[in-house]
Structure 1
Amino acid sequence: MNLQEAIAVLKEKGYKTTGKRKDILEFFSSEDGYRSAKDLIAHLEKKDGAVSFDTIYRNLHLYNDLGILEKTDLEGEKNFRLSCSHHHHHHFICTDCGKTKEIEVCPMDTASSELKDYEIDDHKFEIYGKCPACVHA
């Protein structure tokens, strides 16, 4: 998803595109990988000065609920990135820099055969480690 698509989703769902909401979306559209709320707050404070933590967290969770942002847990902290849900895939996530690489293999292809009598609502599969840049740093 790019910045314009994210703004379109907000408008379609009846939400205003305030300056702060656009700033948040611009931050995530310029980042390659998952970023924490702390990363976002530090970025916004450099740009605008003081920011409201409530506003930041409320918008992060709104964007996640609307499918604009994806959420994952890294070292006990929620991290977000712009959604890339144009097709089904999973991610390798670098635990040092947060960059991601799409993985086209889905473990549900084999797991669903073992869960024939179960109703599956959703799934998530992520691999964590260091990207080549961080391994060689």
Structure 2
Amino acid sequence: MENQTAIQEAVQQMKDYGFKYTKKRETIISYLAKTDRYVAAKELHDFLTKKYAGISYDTIYRNLRDFVNIGILEDTELEGEMKFRFNCSLQGADHHHHHFICSVCGKTKELTTCPMEFFQDQLPGCTIEDHRFEIYGRCKECQSAV
């Protein structure tokens, strides 16, 4: 799916959940859709203050958390800091997958193998309601930069 279509879909989803449309919110969504990696709130704040002088870090972080809660964004913790990326399902990923995440630059690579069958076998009588599986390391580019 083209980025612009995915951005429009995410903005509509935001409205459907009762959030007011603002250009700032669309800019947050657009930035994350175009970077296609995990991004720290600080990076987003640095970018947004160039366009919207005086925008607070708290406002940006609150919007990021809200967007995670309604499924527009995904989050992960890298080295003690929360980072955010555009949700894969809004970019046309129509299959279950997990990610390798570069701990340096935040780029992701899709993993199509899911380890859940292994775990389900070890949990007889239990129902798994959700799961998340991420592998952290350094991507090829960040390894060669060392």
TM-score normalised to structure 2 length: 0.88
Structure 2 residue 128 is the aligned partner of structure 1 residue 120:
yes
Q: State the shift of 1:40 in Å.
A: 0.5
Structure 2 residue 105 is the aligned partner of structure 1 residue 105:
no
Counterpart position of 1:74: 78
Deviation digits for residues 14-54 of structure 1 (CA, Å, limit 9, x no counterpart): 22211111111111112121001011101111222221222
Aligned partner of residue 79 in structure 1, secondary structure = strand
Equivalent residue runs for 1:1-137 within 5 Å? 2-85=6-89, 86-137=94-145
Q: State the shift of 1:69 in Å.
A: 0.2
Q: Which amino acid aligns with 1:105?
A: T
Deviation digits for residues 42-72 of structure 1 (CA, Å, limit 9, x no counterpart): 1111222221222112111110000000010
Q: Which amino acid aligns with 2:118?
A: T
Question: RMSD across aligned C-alpha pairs, in angstroms?
Answer: 1.3
Q: Which amino acid aligns with 1:22?
A: E
- Aligned pairs, number: 137
2: CA distance, partners of 1:36 / 1:7: 21
1: CA distance, partners of 2:24 / 2:53: 12
Tell me the percent identity. 50
2: CA distance, partners of 1:54 / 1:121: 32
1: CA distance, partners of 2:8 / 2:117: 33
Gaps of 5+ in 1: none
2: CA distance, partners of 1:113 / 1:81: 32
